[in-house]
Structure 1
Amino acid sequence: MAAALTLDGVSKRYGEFQAVKDLSFEVEKGTICGFLGPNGAGKTSTIRMILGLQGVSSGRIGILGSDDGRKVRDRIGFLPEERGLYKKMTPVDAIAFFGSLKGLPIGEGRRRAKDMLDAQGLGASKRKKMKELSKGMAQKVQLIASVVHRPEFVILDEPFSGLDPVNQQGLEAVIRGLATDGATVLFSTHVMQHAERLCDKVVLLARGQKAFEGTVSEARATAPRFLELEGAIEPSAAAGLPGVTGVEVVSDFGGVRVLRASLGAGVHGTRMQGHDALKAAFLGGLDVRRFELREPSLHDAFIGLTGDNPDIDQSVKGTGTEATR
């Protein structure tokens, strides 16, 4: 499958701060790719370089067959993390205006705006001013404004930030719809659950560097399954069970604990390890009141791939390499 986006050895420095280091990955056409990492990992700096809003310190970026996002900007839709629409405009006017900046005639923009607002349940708000809308409504309007020109590539920077669960679910449906219609979607987030539900592929970023690139299933396969045990169980006793490589206390109320016992790296063979550990727990007389063999989440994989502190200092001071903007 052809790539809509390619990054090859991309780095970005701001003075002595290394925001992005030797980053390489591809996003295939028509797919949804999650660009994941904690705040400060380098996601927004990377997005700005992809869009051509700032230059790379080194490396190469190709998007929609161009070496500069500015050359194909009318084929790109972008929802920035920092939202902003003219407060005295109506949603229809705001959407049509942003569409006109991408070459869409105002009349066609207004027609599409009305249809898209109706589809998102905002038909009754067409004639209100933006300042009268709720945050969730305003965010939907801004998303529509970023895709009203029907872009081939859509970039969403923390699109779920500040939304309640109902609006998050609605936004997930919009993202799926974009891909169904043939668009390529790259969205950044630090909330792994959205990526688990949406993505064909994920790129995990930590300390400005790629920690993983692949499918959600492939990412989760890097983390161990675990056995969750509840009862009056000492962590040291759980740690001594066969196949257990580590124990975490999830909760502890009056000596009744929920323990998470890791069962080794990877998913192959861990179901039998879980059975062996549970059998040993019962034969050993441990007070097991509830148990569950659980699959690792994408969050578990991220912690395993990046460590507990994925946002430590990224200074390049003293490396002998001259930093450039």
Structure 2
Amino acid sequence: MRTGVHIAILSLRMTELTGKAMAEVAVSVERASKRFGDVLAVDSLSFEVAKGELFGLLGPNGAGKTTTIRMILDLLSPTSGRIAVLGGPMDEAKKRRIGYLPEERGLYGDMRLGEQLVFLGQLKGMSKADARRRTEAVLLSLDLWGAREKRVDALSRGMRQKAQFAGAVLHEPELMIVDEPFSGLDPLNSRTIKAMLLELQERGTAIIMSLHQMSQVEEMCERILLIDRGRSVVYGALAEIRSSFDSHAVRVWAKGSLEGISGVEEAVPENGALRLRLKDAVRPEQVIAEIAAKEGVEIQRVERAQPSLEEIFVRLVGHPIAEGE
């Protein structure tokens, strides 16, 4: 189901960025593939991530996101293709300049939180004094200072998630890779992590954020790579990708009830408006005219609604993202 639209989107140059030049590339992946026996887990992926960019790596569970991340980190070697990180092949010195938050969390449960973070900082090449200073700053930012003397296995799930994130950002990495960073977090802690990621980006850190929840990426990322079954589905600037698709939906701000409008497949409240997804054969003009003629309804504003990433994914691969998990 990969269409001409898909090909056109993939033809976006890898050097294009929204609002910034791709002058400094943090990660370059060129036709990278990974095979495990007869299974082709990653199939000829190509993309670039700039310094100071928050880049979304999207797809269902099992799409190849984690395998791609492990190849970038040199935890797995690609079967074919080339990967450059921070200017060239991965080496031990570069690993100290990278922060990684894996989906499988792995702190030492029997160590006290503050003690463990200082230890992790030293592993990344920090002096003990610097590691202590950064530990205090990060724990305060994450509202974990009061838990510094607690064993990690005595922390709540949400606190352990934040503690793992603290260990990944402690050494102020130049490249940050986060795999499902909001998993298991309540909305308040999710906002805290999101704020810290955006702060890192402002400081020039390149961030690759791997998610299967599209809404988080739509809020935070300017560019994305959407993969399915190891292959690239869509790659490029989010705004350009969206503009390449007709959502076949309108967003209406109106006073009065819009129930019973013919030609509407689904009506969803959205930021004070009602997003109307139309049936295939229905034109937006028909629906707008019917709303305008409806008694007791006053239209305040109408606009075409851009498609969500979820809608784009379904159009290109033929199934909702959850079905690929």
**Fold match by TM threshold 0.5:** yes
| Corresponding residue for residue 302 of structure 1 | 313
Instruction: Establish whether residue 277 from structure 1 lines up as the match of residue 305 from structure 2.
Output: no
Distance 1:301 1:309, change over 3 A: closer
Q: Aligned partner of 1:306: which letter?
A: V
Instruction: Output the aligned Cα RMSD.
Output: 3.0
Alpha-carbon shift at residue 52 of structure 1 (Å): 0.3
Partner amino acid, structure 1, of 2:29 = L
Cα shift readout 1:67-98 (whole Å, capped 9, x = no counterpart): 23655101111111000211222221111111
Of 213, 220, 244 in structure 2, the residue corresponding to residue 222 of structure 1 is 244
Match of 2:259 among 221, 228, 231: 231
Determine the structure 1 residue equivalent to 2:104: 82
Q: Please, which of 136, 143, 149 is the counterpart of residue 114 of structure 1? A: 136
Which aligned pairs between 1:132-143 and structure 2 lie closer than 5 A? Answer: 132-143=154-165
- Normalising to structure 2: TM-score of the pair? 0.79
- State whether residues 292 and 298 of structure 2, in contact with CA within 8 Å, keep that contact through their aligned partners in structure 1: no
TM, length-normalised to structure 1: 0.79
Could you list the per-position Cα deviations for residues 142-185 of structure 1 after superposition, in whole angstroms to 9, with x for gaps in the alignment? Answer: 11111211111000011111111111111110100111111110
Deviations 1:207-232 (A, max 9, x none): 11111112221222233230379534
User: Per-residue CA shift, 1:23-55, capped at 9, x if unaligned?
Assistant: 000001111101011111100000000000011
SS in 1 for 2:244: coil
Say yes or no: does 1:206 pair with 2:228.
Answer: yes
Q: Equivalent residue for 1:323?
A: none
Unaligned runs of 5+ in 1: 239-246, 252-257, 265-269, 314-325
- Residue 100 of structure 1 aligns to a residue whose secondary structure is helix
Runs (5+) with no aligned partner, structure 2: 1-22, 253-257, 269-274
Tell me if the contact between 1:51 and 1:70 (Cα under 8 Å) persists in the aligned partners.
no
Q: Which residue of 2 aligns with 1:318?
A: none
Structure 2 counterpart of 1:261, from 275, 278, 283: 278
Change (3 A) 1:206 1:248: farther
Work out the CA distance in 2 between the residues paired with 1:69 and 1:287.
68
Determine which structure has more spread, i.e. the larger CA radius of gyration.
1
Question: Closer, same or farther in 2 for the Cα pair 1:134/1:289, shift >3 Å?
Answer: farther
Cα distance in 2 for residues equivalent to 1:63 and 1:310: 29
Letter in 2 for 1:279: A
State the alpha-carbon separation in 2 of the partners of residues 205 and 197 from structure 1.
19
Shift of 1:115: 1.5
Q: Do 1:78 and 1:154's aligned partners in 2 also have CA atoms closer than 8 Å?
A: yes
TM-aligned CA distance change 1:69 to 1:155, over 3 Å: farther
> Structure 1 residues 220, 287: CA separation in 2 closer, same or farther (over 3 Å shift)?
farther
Shift of 1:287: 12
Identity within the alignment, %: 38
Partner of 2:171: 149
Aligned residues: 288
2:44 — aligned with what? 22
